[in-house]
Amino acid sequence: MKKHLNILISALVLAVCSTGLFAQDLVVPLRFDRYYTYEEVNEAMKLLNKTYPDITELALVGKSDEGREIWSITVCNSKTGSADSKPAIYVDGNIHGNEIQASEVALYFLDYVLRNYGSNAKVTEMLDRITIYSIPTVNVDGRVHFMDEKQGSTATRGLRVPKDDDRDGLFDEDPADDLDEDGNITQMRKKVPFGEYRLDPDDPRIMIRVEEGEIGDYTILGSEGIDNDGDGRINEDSEGYIDGNRNWGYNWQPNYVQRGAGDYPFEGTGMKAVGQYMIDRPNILMVWAFHNSGGMFLRGPNHKGAKEFDRRDVQVLDYLGKHAEKMVPGYRYLISWKDLYGTWGDFGDFTDNVVGAFTYIGELFQSNTESYRSDTTKPGDRSKRDQEKMDFNDYLTNGQMFVEWKTYDHPVYGEIEVGGWTKYTSRLPQPFMLMDLVHRNAMAVLETADQLPDIKLEVFEKKKIDNNLYQVRVRLLNSKAISSITYQAVRLKAHPQDHLLISGNNIEVLAGGRITDIYTNQVSYKEYKPELQFMHIPGFGRLEYQFLISGKGKIKLEYTSVKAKNLLVEEEL
């Protein structure tokens, strides 16, 4: 039976959605029952900084290719140490312009930790110990174009660096067009004698691809558009395109290998600014970058030819990734190249191998949660998925996801029909579903932030052996899951290893090394410079060292780490 119960009010609902959805004032705590515009994201960050001035700091990261500002916010309790002296997590979103709910997750995470600081014991302890850096919207131009312009669901994915797609000497002269001037760029379909599609007999809004050997009566012609440049092709030279997630300065490959790569790494002005921002903050040890869609937590490596991470890094990623799976039901923890597809010039490769961080890419939202069925514990029947989605549109959103097919006289195709799903469909949850998505994913981020290394340095034994000879035993203990530095960074020599230095005015370190068996006094002594020991402290782990020291007086034990907090202990011999 045709499902047209709500169709008469669809246009009205769409009009209200496009104007009223973004017209509310911003207050703290922030609301997450709608999507924030680019301007509102910036306003929200400034409002958080104004509300929590003692533990936040705003910074202008740089400007985009179109001159828009990219802002970051730092969360840190400066009374317990400066931002650059603590292990840090970096959180961003919306590197692809059409993936706007990614910014909402980053904003919700910031809003949550700030409003709970001082009242929630876990959040308070965490923010006293770590630093948070966040750029909620990376592709600021794409967000503006997606929300403000008539575009399809993928047209604003990349950076609008002008590009001559059809090699006619003109740039971006033949994009999609809103033929019926309804504020949406949807699809064109045409009735033909031998088509690849037929109309669903129960609901003619739905197109069904015919089986092999069958003959349909409709074909899909693509997005709405005409031949703007008169070259016989339609929509072939849209707004310039560089994929912000294929333009990073690690393992970059040109366009003939990786579509969207651009002409050279960091061609995107905003991407270069974000990369420099991260390099300038070497204490970043955990990275979350949010995209959509599919419901996945991805880790590297990002292409098949890359060497797998050290098993000790994998242990950390597996421990936290599998925990995140349980926090966001239905999401899967996967390896990018192996379980999805390979990429080059990827942000995750840059953060894994240059920044030296543990990296997760959060692919938000599963379209099958747009459900209209009695049993939601199991995925819907794939053969009925389109109808279920249409029912969801009719009964849960009152028609605002779909534009009714309308006849249009096309200058090339003749009589066609224009209509279909809007850009706020399939890749983006409807606003009433947003709160659950942002909270669950933000809590997965919070859990990894809480597991940034918490290192303790202690002298656990001091024994006089002879007149001026002492045996000193030192322990470095990490009570959290994340190691003090990634083994990938050590392998690539991306950052200096942690080190422990013993010094004093009246002492000499005669021998020093790691204790391999404390019960039988087995020590792996270092041959040269025994006073200086290099290490990286595993998650939930400890390292113990033994030193033979000649002399008397005060000794200093200094633990220094690029990623974890530096420590100093003084002892008297």
Phi then psi for 128, rounded to 5 degrees? -75, -15
For residues 260 and 253, give the distance between their C-alpha atoms in angstroms, rounded to a whole number. 10
Average confidence (pLDDT) over 528-547: 97
271 domain residue, yes or no: yes
Domain with 486 in it = 455-572
Which tokens belong to 12? Answer: 């009205």
Structure confidence by residue, pLDDT tens digits, 90-147: 999 999 999 999 999 999 999 999 999 999 999 999 999 999 999 999 999 999 999 9
92 and 40 together in one domain: yes
pLDDT of residue 163: 80
Average pLDDT, the chain: 91
505 and 542 together in one domain: yes
Which residue from 93, 83, 69, 94 is spatially nearest to 132, judged by alpha carbons?
A: 83
The answer to whether residues 197 and 27 touch, using CB atoms and an 8 Å cutoff, is: no
Q: Quick check: helix, strand or coil at residue 313?
A: helix
262 and 131 together in one domain: yes
Average confidence (pLDDT) over 533-549: 97
For residues 204 and 500, give the distance between their C-alpha atoms in angstroms, rounded to a whole number. 72
The DSSP annotation for 45-56 comes to HHHHHHHSTTTE
128 and 275 together in one domain: yes
Is the backbone of residue 419 left (phi > 0), alpha (psi -120 to 50) or beta? Answer: left
pLDDT of residue 300: 95
- Between residues 58 and 377, the one the model is more confident about: 58
96 and 124 together in one domain: yes
Structure confidence by residue, pLDDT tens digits, 132-152: 999 999 999 999 999 988 766
Q: Using omega within 30 degrees of 0 as the cis cutoff, is the peptide bond preceding 453 cis?
A: no
Amino acid at 516: T
pLDDT of residue 380: 66
Average confidence (pLDDT) over 245-273: 95
136 domain residue, yes or no: yes
For residues 73 and 44, give the distance between their C-alpha atoms in angstroms, rounded to a whole number. 11
pLDDT of residue 17: 43
Average confidence (pLDDT) over 354-360: 98
154 pLDDT above the threshold of 80? no
For residues 15 and 6, give the distance between their C-alpha atoms in angstroms, rounded to a whole number. 15
Average confidence (pLDDT) over 561-571: 96
What number of H helices and E strands is found in the chain? 11, 23
Average confidence (pLDDT) over 200-212: 93
46 pLDDT above the threshold of 80? yes
Count Cβ atoms within 10 A of the Cβ of residue 281 and give its class: 0-12 exposed, 13-18 middle, 19 or more buried: middle
75 pLDDT above the threshold of 50? yes
pLDDT of residue 2: 40
For residues 406 and 424, give the distance between their C-alpha atoms in angstroms, rounded to a whole number. 20
Domain total in the chain: 2
Structure confidence by residue, pLDDT tens digits, 378-393: 766 777 888 999 999 9
340 and 275 together in one domain: yes
- Domain limit, last residue, from 398, 422, 448: 448
* Segment among 44-48, 229-233, 285-289, 500-504 with least mean pLDDT: 229-233
Structure confidence by residue, pLDDT tens digits, 163-204: 877 777 877 777 898 999 998 999 999 999 999 999 999 999
483 and 526 together in one domain: yes
pLDDT of residue 171: 75
Contacts of 438 (CB under 8 A, 6+ apart): 32, 101, 104, 105, 107, 108
In the chain, pLDDT over 90 holds for what percent of residues? 81
pLDDT of residue 243: 93
- Residue 460's CATH number: 2.60.40.10
CA 246: distance to chain centroid?
A: 14
Average confidence (pLDDT) over 254-273: 95
* Segment among 169-173, 339-343, 530-534 with least mean pLDDT: 169-173
443 and 519 together in one domain: no
- Domain limit, last residue, from 416, 448, 480: 448
10 pLDDT above the threshold of 60? no
Average confidence (pLDDT) over 57-82: 97
323 pLDDT above the threshold of 50? yes
Average confidence (pLDDT) over 293-321: 95
236 pLDDT above the threshold of 50? yes
- Residue 332's CATH number: 3.40.630.10
